Amino acid sequence: MRTVNAARYVTPLREGGSLPAIIEADDDGMYVLKFRGAGQGTKALIAELIAGELARVANFLVPELVFVAVDPEIARTEPDPEIQDLIRASGGLNLGLDYLPGSVMFDPVADKLDADLASRIVWFDAYVTNVDRTPRNANMLMWHRKLWLIDHGAALYFHHSWTNMDQRSPDPFALIKEHILLPFASTIKSADEALHPIFTEEVINRIVNLVPDDWLKDDARFTTTAEHRQAYVEFLTRRLAEPRNFVEEAIRVR
């Protein structure tokens, strides 16, 4: 992953609960910036990075993810005190998604998806326990007539407690019943056969190793960042073991 420096705060995206923003970076690119100083802290950035890059491995379209170095001094040009505080609390490495100009939010009425793509997205979101792809907030964009997955900060929600992990890995993820694409996902079993072999332990390790040590150091449940990192790998690996309860649950609730 590339690292860019935030050069200019452009505008907040107030529809996001964590107050993300469009920023310009020193590579002249525009990015949607997720701040480490927002409510969920680095946990949301970790989920965004891991789930986003796992989605890319599965050949879903995901905007490029980059690390964004933020200098708190850029807060001086921002008149909003709330945003000033957020920028000042986010010094260091943050996470950015390539901004897709002219994209529009996915509309299940206007934007028809084939059953295969819908089923693969439902399978993937159940795998990474993404609670935030619902009719209230699809977190999918149409750009150049193609579907792009965005905003995975609410995935991997187990990492907010890290309790009873042996029992939580095979969790069926009952919240998949809220998924916006579930009505169209008629081939979930086929999606499982195609996708689960892709996520090998080697692939999962490679992606988890992208997470900066700095984002992992503040969790008192782990004595080292290596131990913290391995906990993600073990959860995501064990979740693919037979029987995959999250697959059966998605089929059942549909």
| Per-residue pLDDT tens digits for 140-193 | 999 999 999 999 999 999 998 888 888 889 999 999 999 999 999 999 999 999
Residue ending a domain, choose from 80, 98, 116: 98
Secondary structure (3-state) at 243? coil
Asked if pLDDT for residue 16 goes beyond 60, the answer is no
Co-location of 219 and 120 in the same domain = yes
Predicted local confidence at residue 199, as pLDDT = 98
Going by the DSSP 8-state scheme, the letter that residue 35 receives in this structure is: P
For 70-118, the pLDDT digits (tens) are: 999 988 888 889 889 999 999 999 999 999 999 999 999 899 899 999 9
Spatial separation of the C-alpha atoms in residues 1 and 136, rounded to whole Å? 31
- How far is residue 160 from each of residues 49, 81, 153, 155, measured CA to CA in Å? 16, 28, 12, 11
Predicted local confidence at residue 18, as pLDDT = 66
Structure tokens, 96: 């950015």
**Radius of gyration, alpha carbons of the chain:** 18
Contact (CB, 8 A) for 155 and 51: yes
* 205: Cα within 13 Å, side-chain hemisphere: 5
Co-location of 166 and 64 in the same domain = no
Give the Cα-Cα-Cα angle 216, 130, 222 (nearest 5 degrees).
20
Residue ending a domain, choose from 45, 77, 98: 98
Co-location of 201 and 126 in the same domain = yes
Co-location of 237 and 164 in the same domain = yes
Spatial separation of the C-alpha atoms in residues 110 and 138, rounded to whole Å? 14
Structure tokens, 188: 């979930």
* 29: Cα within 13 Å, side-chain hemisphere: 19
Co-location of 79 and 202 in the same domain = no
Residue 22: partners with Cβ closer than 8 Å, 6 or more residues away = 10, 11, 13, 30, 31, 32, 33, 99
Predicted local confidence at residue 136, as pLDDT = 92
Residue ending a domain, choose from 38, 63, 98: 98
**Which one is predicted more confidently, 161 or 208?**
208
Co-location of 18 and 90 in the same domain = yes
Predicted local confidence at residue 167, as pLDDT = 83
Secondary structure (3-state) at 31? strand
Q: Which of 15-24, 40-49, 140-149 has the lowest mean pLDDT?
A: 15-24
Predicted local confidence at residue 77, as pLDDT = 82
Co-location of 94 and 129 in the same domain = no
Q: How many domains does the chain have?
A: 2
Predicted local confidence at residue 165, as pLDDT = 85
Co-location of 190 and 146 in the same domain = yes
Could you check whether the bond before residue 12 is cis, i.e. omega within 30 degrees of 0?
Answer: no
Co-location of 29 and 118 in the same domain = no
Co-location of 110 and 235 in the same domain = yes
Asked if pLDDT for residue 52 goes beyond 90, the answer is yes
In the block, tokens 């100083």 appear at: 37
Co-location of 39 and 136 in the same domain = no
Mean pLDDT within 194-200: 98
Predicted local confidence at residue 39, as pLDDT = 84
Q: What pTM does this model have?
A: 0.95
Co-location of 139 and 205 in the same domain = yes
Structure tokens, 110: 């206007």
Closest CA to 97 of 43, 188, 21: 21
> What is the domain extent for residue 32?
3-98
| Residue 76 burial by Cβ neighbours in a 10 Å radius (0-12, 13-18, 19+) | exposed
